[in-house]
């Protein structure tokens, strides 16, 4: 346990880093999308467009902050704050390295025995931001966006929870550090098939939970203007964008932690550089980058699902597949091991 002051500083540093990463993820995303769609993307401001996020930040701060006169004022202002607060809070439980590896301090903000549930709980509260924002705008497209968002998130939380169940059963703990230290894949090759299925189901559910293409129905711009974002401008709009990207990063880190060994590096490098697989932060960020790239890649590749396809996929396929993976994992643990 670190002293309270250090924990506070770490939390402050984490928020700063996450928001800085958000600013540059927007640039990376636009540049990558440009590359994938055979065009340039923003490349005018500074070398490779590196100053673009700063210009964007200045622009969104100095834009007029409109509060719709028909809006429910209190909820309208509260909603983006809920989104960003819970998005940032969720990341705190994810361990960045072994105990005491960050200059003698622990590379995480809180270490909970129920770390896994903490992340699920905090992210599930974050969704209030989206659908309260849509409702409070008192306008039809935002309301449609929020209805879609709550239906989608309720539906895909089932897939998320069920696919996590396999990991919990194998690890026998809800502590994220213990899950990383155990490495669920090393328990038995018998568990590989259900784990692989659970991994796939989890990644898909996580993309749906963070509202990314092909699951970005709450803000589908061709159908409902910008969904829940329609009536938001200036810094409140920016807060929603921040929350979306921070949620993406939390999802990436969460997937890596549960299924891909989290902060652990490959041990094959140990003979050359001893201790490299225990370096804090580095490996987690590398794995997160992998998933962030995957999210952007999917956005450039897949068209958006229709609403009925979304519901059918979630309830008929994802739910059953994740349930089957959990049952098979349980059967293997009970009868084979």
Closer by beta carbon to other proteins, 126 or else 261? 126
Q: 73-91 vs 234-259: helix axis angle to the nearest 10?
A: 30
Yes or no: say if 131 and 287 are a contact pair by the CB < 8 Å rule: no
How long a stretch of residues is the chain?
337
Closer by beta carbon to other proteins, 102 or else 174? 174
Local structure of residue 332 (DSSP, 8 states)? I
Could you say which of 17, 28, 114, 300 contacts other proteins (CB under 8 A)?
A: 114
Site string for other proteins, 135-154 (x = CB under 8 A): x-------x--xx--xx-xx
Does 120 bind other proteins (CB under 8 A)? Our answer is: yes
Please provide the DSSP assignment of 63-112 as one string: S-----TTS-HHHHHHHHHHHHHHHHHHHTTS--SSTTTBTTB-SSS---
Does 122 bind other proteins (CB under 8 A)? Our answer is: yes
Closer by beta carbon to other proteins, 52 or else 152? 152
Closer by beta carbon to other proteins, 111 or else 278? 111
Does 124 bind other proteins (CB under 8 A)? Our answer is: yes
Site for other proteins in 237-266 (CB under 8 A): none
Place of tokens 């519901």: 311
Place of tokens 């903490």: 118
Tokens of 263: 């902060």
Local structure of residue 139 (DSSP, 8 states)? S
* CA-to-CA separations, 166 to 172, 197, 337, in angstroms, rounded: 10, 10, 15
Q: Give the range of 100-108, 122-130, 199-207, 286-294 binding other proteins by CB under 8 A.
A: 122-130
Q: Least distance (Å) from other proteins to the CB of residue 124?
A: 3
Q: Least distance (Å) from other proteins to the CB of residue 177?
A: 15
Yes or no: say if 62 and 68 are a contact pair by the CB < 8 Å rule: no
Could you say which of 6, 311, 324, 327 contacts other proteins (CB under 8 A)?
A: 311
Site string for other proteins, 164-203 (x = CB under 8 A): ----------x-----------------------------
Q: Least distance (Å) from other proteins to the CB of residue 236?
A: 18
Q: 4-36 vs 282-301: helix axis angle to the nearest 10?
A: 30
Could you say which of 131, 215, 259, 295 contacts other proteins (CB under 8 A)?
A: 131
Q: Least distance (Å) from other proteins to the CB of residue 97?
A: 23
Closer by beta carbon to other proteins, 26 or else 123? 123
- Residues contacting 8, CB < 8 A, separation 6+: none
What distance in Å separates the CA atoms of residue 279 and residue 264, rounded to the nearest whole number? 8
Does 121 bind other proteins (CB under 8 A)? Our answer is: yes
Q: Is the bond preceding residue 80 a cis peptide, omega within 30 degrees?
A: no
Among 229, 215, 222, which residue's Cα sits nearest to residue 139? 229
Q: Least distance (Å) from other proteins to the CB of residue 86?
A: 10
User: Of all helices (H) and strands (E), which one includes residue 126?
Assistant: helix 115-136
Does 113 bind other proteins (CB under 8 A)? Our answer is: yes
Does 127 bind other proteins (CB under 8 A)? Our answer is: yes
Could you say which of 29, 106, 157, 209 contacts other proteins (CB under 8 A)?
A: 157
Could you say which of 72, 111, 223, 278 contacts other proteins (CB under 8 A)?
A: 72
């Amino acid at each position: 346990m670190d002293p309270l002051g250090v924990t506070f500083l770490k939390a402050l540093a984490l928020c700063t880093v996450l928001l800085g990463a958000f600013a540059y993820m927007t640039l990376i995303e636009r540049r990558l999308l440009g590359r994938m769609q055979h065009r340039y993307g923003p490349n005018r401001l500074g070398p490779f467009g590196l100053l673009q996020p700063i210009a964007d930040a200045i622009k969104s701060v100095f834009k007029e902050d409109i509060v719709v006169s028909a809006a429910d004022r209190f909820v309208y202002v509260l909603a983006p704050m809920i989104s960003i607060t819970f998005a940032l809070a969720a990341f705190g439980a994810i361990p960045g390295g072994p105990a005491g590896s960050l200059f003698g301090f622990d590379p995480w903000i809180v270490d909970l025995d129920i770390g896994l549930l903490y992340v699920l709980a905090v992210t599930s509260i974050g969704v209030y931001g989206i659908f309260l924002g849509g409702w409070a705008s008192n306008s039809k497209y935002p309301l449609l966006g929020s209805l879609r968002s709550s239906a989608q998130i309720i539906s895909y939380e089932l897939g998320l929870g069920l696919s996590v169940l396999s990991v919990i059963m194998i690890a026998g703990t809800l502590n994220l550090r213990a899950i990383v230290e155990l490495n669920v894949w090393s328990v038995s090759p018998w568990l590989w098939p259900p784990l692989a299925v659970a991994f796939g189901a989890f990644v898909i559910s996580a993309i749906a939970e963070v509202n990314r293409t092909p699951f970005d129905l709450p803000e589908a711009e061709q159908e409902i203007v910008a969904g829940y974002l329609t009536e938001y401008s200036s810094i409140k709009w920016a807060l929603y964008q921040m929350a979306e990207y921070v949620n993406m990063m939390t999802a990436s880190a969460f997937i890596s932690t549960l299924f891909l060994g989290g902060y652990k590096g490959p041990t094959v490098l140990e003979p050359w550089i001893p201790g490299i697989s225990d370096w804090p932060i580095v490996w987690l960020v590398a794995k997160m980058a992998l998933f962030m790239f995957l999210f952007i890649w999917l956005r450039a590749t897949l068209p958006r699902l229709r609403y009925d396809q979304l519901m059918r996929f979630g309830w008929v396929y994802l739910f059953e597949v994740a349930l089957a993976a959990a049952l098979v994992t349980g059967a293997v643990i009970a009868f084979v091991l």
